Structure 1
C-alpha cells in the first residue's frame, strides 16, 4: 500500500469515527471529503482489494498452479490428477457452460479426496478453503436425523440458492456423500441440471464436489488384480475402473447415491477413482508433511512412520489400509 492509500484510509477512519468528526473544522472536513472523492475517482475498485467479493481480484483460476500442486502434492493418483486437471480447466475456461461442474470422488479413506478439493479451491479462490464462496457439508454434522429429511431439503435448497445468487462461482463440497439420504441428494438435482435459470438464478458456473467411500472396494479390487498381474501401477487407466465403479455406486443400497436422479439423469460429469496407496506413497506423504512444517527432509523418519501403518494383503503389505490419513498424528509422535 502506498502513502496515498495510507492517507485515504486515515481519512476514512476519521470520517467514519463517529465522535471524532466533531473536533474537525468544517473547512478541514470539506478538504477531506474532496481528497477522498478525488482518490475514489482515481481508484474506484480500491475497496475490493480489502474485502473478499465475487470478482476477478478474488476468484481467478490458476491452471499452472493446479497442475503443479497435483504433480507435487497428490501421490499415487495419476488417474484422478489427469481427470481433475482436465475437468476443472475445461470448465473454468468456458465462459458459458451448459451446466455446473459436478465431480464425484470415490475411494477409501486417506487416499486424497478431501485434499484434492482443497487444491481445487486454492487455485480458484484467493482465500482457498477459507473463502466465503466455498461451502462444505458433512452428512453426519449437517444432516444427522433421517426424520428431519424434509426440513434439510428446504434448508439445503435455500442455502444453495442464496449463495449462488451472491456469487455465481460458488463451490459446494459434500463430504460423506455415501451416508446422505437419497432424497436429500435428489433435492440438489435442479441446481446441477441443464437449466439456463431457475427462478431467475443461473447455477451454471457453480462447482459441486461429492466425496464418497462408495465404490472404494471395487477400486481396490481392480487395483489389486492389476498389481497381481505384475503390471506397473501407472498403466492402470480410467477405463479399467470406470464401469465397475459406476455400477458399484449405482447398485449399492448402502450408498446415498443409490438410484438417485443425479446418476439416473447422468448429471455427474466425472466419477473420479482414488486408488489405494502403496507404501512408497505413504513415505511421500510423510516427507511432504515434514516440508509443510518447515522441517529438514528425513527419509529414515518417513520410512519409520510408514512402516507402522497397516497394509494389505497381509502377506505382501502392498496397500495402506488408511492411506495417508494418520501420517500427521504419527509424525507428531516422533517429533
Structure 2
C-alpha cells in the first residue's frame, strides 16, 4: 500500500475547483444583473413609497430618456415570378434628329429674313407716297385707287416673280384713267417707265407689223435698264382698245414663261375705255345707294372680264380696276385743280359755274358727268 503523506490528502483538493467554479460564475452573473438593474432605475427609486425595480403595475415617474422611435419597415420589393427583367436601355441618340432640328432652324431663319425683306422691298418704291398722290389728283375714285395700290403692294412685296403683273384700268371717258397712268409713270421715273400711246406711236392700222417690232424694242430697252438698276420696270399703254391685234399678241407673249427672267418682273398697265358702257349702266342702276356703286362688287368685275375675254385672251390674265362715273362735286374739284395749275385763283363759285356748263346724267337726285373731267382743260383754257 502507498503510504505517501500526500496521497490521501490530494484527492479532496482536486475536487474543490470543479464545484466552486460554477458557483463563482453564477455569483458573477448575478452581480452583473443587479448592477445593470440599478443603472436602469431612476435616481429617486430608493425613496419611500417607490418601488425598487421597474414594473408595469401602477403609475410611476416618467423616465427622462427619450423613447425610441419605432423603426420604419421597408416596403416589400416584389420581383417577377420567373426572373428579373433587365432595365430598359435608353434609346440611342440619332444624328438624323439633330440634322432635322438644324434644318428647321435654318428654314425658320430664312422665312423671318424674307418677311423682313418684304417690307424693305415695298418701302423702296414709296407706295404710300404714290397712294397719297393718286388720291389727291384723281378725284372721285377712292375704290379704284385703293385697289390699284393694293395690287401693286402685293406684287412689289416679293423680289422674284413667275410672270409680269397685268393691270387693266377700265372706265368711260374722263374719269381719270390717263391721269393715273401719268402719275404712275412719273413715280417710277423715266428710266424705268415706258408710256406708249396707240394713237401717237401706231396711228396707221396697216403698220401693225412695224409697230410690233418697235414696241418689242422699246420694252426690251426699258427692261434692260431696270435689270441693271435692280428695279421693276413699268409699261403704260394708253388707249389699249385701239391697239392692233399684233400688238396685243406681243403683249400676251410677255406673260408667257418662255420669255427671259427680266421680263417676269415687269408691270404692264393697260388704260382702256373698253367696258365703259357696262360701268355706266352699273353706276346709274346703283345711283340710289350712296356707296353702292363705289364698292365695285364682284359681279361687275366678272362681267367686264367675260366681255373682254371675247376680244383677246390677253384680258383673261389682267387684274381689272374699274373707274366709275364722276358726280358734279368731283367735276368741280377738277376745275379748281386745273384753274390753280393755270395760274387762276381757284374760286369755288367760279368753278361751280364752269361745271354747270357740262352735261350730266340725272338719276335719283344725283348728277353724273357724261364726259367726266374730259372738257375741263379746254374750258379753263378759254378763260
Query: TM-score, normalised to structure 2's length?
Result: 0.62
Which residue of the partner structure matches residue 307 of structure 2? 248
Question: Structure 1, residues 271-316: CA drift from partner, whole Å, max 9, x if none?
Answer: 1111111111101111222343454431101101111111124996
Q: Say if 2:335 and 2:380, in contact at 8 Å, map to a contact too.
A: yes
Relative distance call for 1:291 and 1:89 in structure 2 (3 A) is farther
Query: TM-score, normalised to structure 1's length?
Result: 0.70
Choose the corresponding residue for 1:298, options 317, 326, 347.
Answer: 347
Contiguous gaps of at least 5 residues in structure 1: 1-58, 126-130, 252-257
Question: Structure 1, residues 222-250: CA drift from partner, whole Å, max 9, x if none?
Answer: 010000x3443565334242122222323
Question: Structure 1, residues 10-58: CA drift from partner, whole Å, max 9, x if none?
Answer: xxxxxxxxxxxxxxxxxxxxxxxxxxxxxxxxxxxxxxxxxxxxxxxxx
Higher RCO (CA-CA < 8 Å; seq separation 6+):
1
Instruction: Report the secondary structure of 1:202's partner residue.
Output: helix
- Structure 1 residue 287 corresponds to structure 2 residue 347: no
Relative distance call for 1:90 and 1:230 in structure 2 (3 A) is closer
Question: Structure 1, residues 190-243: CA drift from partner, whole Å, max 9, x if none?
Answer: 212345x52xx521222211111110000010010000x344356533424212
CA radius of gyration, larger in: 2
Instruction: Report the secondary structure of 1:123's partner residue.
Output: helix
Superposition pairs for residues 1-16 of structure 1, below 5 Å?
none
Which residue of the partner structure matches residue 313 of structure 2? 261
Instruction: Report the secondary structure of 2:181's partner residue.
Output: helix
Superposition pairs for residues 90-239 of structure 1, below 5 Å?
90-125=154-189, 131-168=190-227, 169-195=232-258, 197-198=259-260, 201-227=261-287, 229-233=288-292, 236-239=295-298
CA distance in 2, matches of 1:217, 1:94: 36
Relative distance call for 1:267 and 1:232 in structure 2 (3 A) is closer
**Offset of residue 63 of structure 1:** 1.5
Relative distance call for 1:114 and 1:312 in structure 2 (3 A) is same
Q: Say if 1:63 and 1:123, in contact at 8 Å, map to a contact too.
A: no
- Structure 1 residue 69 corresponds to structure 2 residue 133: yes
Moved more, 309-318 or 177-186: 309-318
Instruction: Report the secondary structure of 1:183's partner residue.
Output: helix
**Offset of residue 175 of structure 1:** 1.2
Q: Say if 1:285 and 1:324, in contact at 8 Å, map to a contact too.
A: yes
- Structure 1 residue 272 corresponds to structure 2 residue 321: yes
Which residue of the partner structure matches residue 35 of structure 1? none
Contiguous gaps of at least 5 residues in structure 2: 1-122
**Offset of residue 93 of structure 1:** 2.6
Task: Please report the RMSD computed on the Cα atoms of aligned residues, expressed in angstroms.
Answer: 2.5
CA distance in 2, matches of 1:299, 1:138: 34
**Offset of residue 86 of structure 1:** 0.5
